[in-house]
Structure 1
């Protein structure tokens, strides 16, 4: 745990530095973009001095570090509101969408992957094997935002069953959550299928099968715990893809979350807001991976040695 905590601290430092440098290396003047092209040069210069953007890059970086550690993430250049309040307003929508998508990923991938492994074990049902491989392979290569556009066209335009945008009703969550979850669930289902096939060939499963145990007990009690170890490992990686995919998917569905906010902030060159959102999303991914490591250590102590 200490070793992973140290790695987390180093990774967070890298994320903070990268978010600062990437934003400041983008050409353009954020103050001029916020005040408009016709703003008086004296007003622009005064605003730059007020925000500390006229100072050397190293000084700005040290001030940024100090603000991060003190909880002061700065002020939005476009709205003038504190960045922390903007994030607090938008974060719940993104958290709800990402959490629902992650839950859908697990609920779709684990049963489907295990069922296909059991159905095709020993070379049976080659048609099912081919269909599963083809469908999941196609879904994993299509970007999330294209899946979202397709879902809108089918279920909101052609068949007006669901709302195409917004987050006003529970039905509004269906399409964006599916757009986020479909690709990762196909990736996870392929991993679950592979691991289940491997587990089914192990000796303890053969012994359990020879005892004529019920199928539910055989697969849920003896196979599932061994499969979940690999599923957790991949799940932590897929969560990062959910966070990244939410940036584009939220813009497709006009979702009032951090994804649409960061795209608008990038267009407006709102440095403080972009830095804070990138830092937050990166920190969330790192913390989730830390918890995945700890959960793996609890489920299978041998994984702690192999992953260290």
Structure 2
């Protein structure tokens, strides 16, 4: 007996559902995220064990009795084989446990929870400042230097943006401290006690990315200004301000907005050194101190938070780009 039309359509609907490019796109991004997370977790575990020295001895001090050190190592599971420790580490992660700090004996999750807001705040403020500088600066330089005009301005912009983009964040931070805190006494050297204490660390993180992004905005703006629809806008005798702000700028910043997500990820990672320059009470200060003290659980937990943050930001950027430009998903068909 022949199958009914409804029954015959079921396999087709199932196949069509699986072949949908959005489903395949989401599946590939999810698989990539899971593999990246596993690589990150594995690297975070094994890399800290390459650091020479005994973390328990470092925490208890050189005068601690050998039996006390041995008991503490056993309690932490550090006397097990490395693969056994790795298995316990994965098992604890699956239950949301990051272990206890060897030095302070506080839960690693509690320490991260106390310091994460300061790091996130610093990275987000630096991101906002970088975008606020890069977009108007790049658009203005494009308008000024179009068709070879203001050659000196173009050379000055190109040279300064290359230099500022190449200077490491922590070097720029030291220079800012020397000028504005030590020499001019305008801003505090370190800490997070007042609004003025945010200025130097935020600028140290934001200036380099702003210089790089402004170059991208300028190139995109120059390309947009030569398109046909803007020639039509000029033919309609629209004001130059409206042409640049309403018609050109929204189309010119597409590539910049795509890179901005990656920029946010790099800013999160860049807080590690900048926080130590300005004694900022965030995860960056915590991870450097934990590496020095060989505090394995705290190092692992902090590295995981940084890595997961960057991975999630990159995933969100991929999804947002796919939504804004569906052609970016063609590769999954």
The verdict on a shared fold, with TM-score over 0.5 as the criterion, is: yes
Judge which range, 295-304 or 110-119, deviates more: 295-304
Q: Within 1, Cα distance between the matches of 2:242 and 2:153?
A: 24
* Structure 2 residue 59 is matched with structure 1 residue 34: yes
State the 1:260 CA deviation: 0.5
Q: Within 2, Cα distance between the matches of 1:114 and 1:305?
A: 31
Equivalent residue, structure 1, for 2:138: 113
Equivalent residue, structure 2, for 1:225: 250
Equivalent residue, structure 1, for 2:268: 243
* Pick aligned residue for 1:259 from 284, 288, 296: 284
* Pick aligned residue for 1:142 from 167, 192, 198: 167
Equivalent residue, structure 2, for 1:300: 325
Compare CA radii of gyration and give the structure with the larger one.
Answer: 2
Q: Compared with structure 1, are the counterparts of its residues 39 and 100 closer, same or farther at alpha carbon in structure 2 (3 Å cutoff)? A: same
Q: Which stretches in structure 2 are left out of the alignment for 5+ residues?
A: 1-25
State the 1:307 CA deviation: 9.3
* Structure 2 residue 82 is matched with structure 1 residue 57: yes
Equivalent residue, structure 1, for 2:43: 18
Instruction: Tell me the number of residue pairs that the alignment of Structure 1 and Structure 2 aligns.
Output: 308
State the 1:148 CA deviation: 0.7
State the 1:77 CA deviation: 0.5
Equivalent residue, structure 1, for 2:313: 288
Q: Compared with structure 1, are the counterparts of its residues 217 and 301 closer, same or farther at alpha carbon in structure 2 (3 Å cutoff)? A: farther
Is 2:135–2:217's contact at 8 Å kept on the other side of the alignment? yes
Equivalent residue, structure 2, for 1:169: 194
CA-to-aligned-CA distance 1:149-205 (integer Å, 9 cap, x gap): 111111111111111110001111011000010111111111111111122222222
Q: Within 1, Cα distance between the matches of 2:139 and 2:126?
A: 20
Judge which range, 177-186 or 203-212, deviates more: 203-212
Question: What TM-score, normalized to structure 1?
Answer: 0.96
Q: Compared with structure 1, are the counterparts of its residues 211 and 299 closer, same or farther at alpha carbon in structure 2 (3 Å cutoff)? A: farther
Question: What TM-score, normalized to structure 2?
Answer: 0.89
